[in-house]
Chains A and B, each alone.
Chain A
Amino acid sequence: AQSVTQPDIHITVSEGASLELRCNYSYGATPYLFWYVQSPGQGLQLLLKYFSGDTLVQGIKGFEAEFKRSQSSFNLRKPSVHWSDAAEYFCAVGGSGGYQKVTFGTGTKLQVIP
């Protein structure tokens, strides 16, 4: 069964500092990998996705993520955090062959301090 682990429940960073959110996945074949962001009371917005090709993917709002097959990881990064980035971030994994449901991690809540 596929699964996602986000080891950090809560992260606090200063505005302007760099950010890395960790994600480890378990999946038997080549995965589809996603990062979504959710503001309080809202739905999920797609930040970026990895299906194949270049293992460093760029997303919206200045985010990027790197797929490392050997480490089963897909960590999200941003070089300089803005106060508006405060939200909850979810990593997700889905199958690459036909339909497979997308399984989410439990999320990392990001707090940005001035």
Chain B
Amino acid sequence: DTGVSQDPRHKITKRGQNVTFRCDPISEHNRLYWYRQTLGQGPEFLTYFQNEAQLEKSRLLSDRFSAERPKGSFSTLEIQRTEQGDSAMYLCASSLPGSGGNTIYFGEGSWLTVV
């Protein structure tokens, strides 16, 4: 059984550089979510896809952030011109809503440190 996988697990980058994270959801899941978590806080919603369509974006997602899910399978989250405030763990999750509800399953996260 393969869960949600994220790559890379850790990334250290210099301020101003671009970074990209990849997420592979659970194979039959049609919904994919990105969350951001900083130390001492709960995960904060960033954006969500149903298949390849990006249906909602949080106001937390500035113009420097872009997410794609081109074929409705894996997704990428790109951060351009990184700032120190972008340092956080970026969590990907997926789900398959049904009559039993909508349970979101998370990956292990991608840690970003901007120096």
Quick check: B48 and A49 within 8 Å, CB to CB? no
Cross-chain contact of A99 among B44, B48, B109 (Cβ < 8 A): B48
**Of B4, B43, B50, B102, which contacts A90 at CB under 8 A?**
B43
Report the minimal beta-carbon distance from A55 to chain B, rounded to whole angstroms.
15
- Nearest residue in B to A4 (C-beta to C-beta)? B42
Nearest chain A CB to B37's CB is how many angstroms away? 9
Does the CB pair A99–B55 fall under 8 Å? yes
Interface residues of A in 49-64 (CB under 8 A from B): 49, 51-52
The listed residue (A32, A45, A101, A107) touching B45 by CB distance below 8 A is A101
Chain B interface residue count, Cβ-Cβ cutoff 8 angstroms: 27
Of residues 47 through 61 on chain B, the ones whose CB sits less than 8 Å from some CB of chain A are 48, 50, 55-56
Q: Are A49 and B106 in contact (CB under 8 A)?
A: no
From B42, B45, B91, B101, A105 is in contact (CB under 8 Å) with B42
Contact yes or no, A32 B91, CB < 8 A? no
Bound CA span A75–B102, Å? 20
Could you tell me if A101 and B33 are in contact, using CB atoms closer than 8 angstroms? yes
From A32, A43, A52, A98, B108 is in contact (CB under 8 Å) with A43
- B115 interfacial by beta-carbon distance below 8 Å: no
Contacting pair B102 A101 (CB below 8 A): no
Q: Is the CB of A102 within 8 A of B108?
A: no
Question: In residues 8-45 of chain A, which contact B (Cβ within 8 Å)?
Answer: 32, 34, 36, 41-45
Decide: A99 and B101 in contact? CB cutoff 8 A.
no
Would you call B45 and A44 a contact (CB within 8 A)? no
Whether B109 and A104, one on each chain, are in contact in the complex, defined by CB atoms closer than 8 angstroms, is: no
Closest Cβ of chain A to B44, distance in Å, is 8
Whether A90 and B42, one on each chain, are in contact in the complex, defined by CB atoms closer than 8 angstroms, is yes
**Set of chain A residues within 8 Å of B84, measured between Cβ atoms:** none
Q: What are 6 A-B pairs with beta-carbon distances under 8 A?
A: A34-B103, A34-B104, A96-B101, A99-B31, A100-B102, A101-B33
Q: Which 10 A-B pairs have the closest CB atoms?
A: A104-B42, A51-B101, A43-B108, A44-B106, A43-B106, A101-B45, A43-B109, A104-B43, A106-B42, A107-B42
- With A32-B101, A44-B43, A99-B50 known, 20 other A-B pairs at CB within 8 A are A34-B104, A41-B111, A43-B91, A43-B106, A43-B107, A44-B106, A46-B105, A90-B42, A90-B43, A94-B104, A99-B55, A99-B97, A99-B102, A101-B33, A103-B45, A104-B35, A104-B43, A104-B44, A106-B42, A107-B42
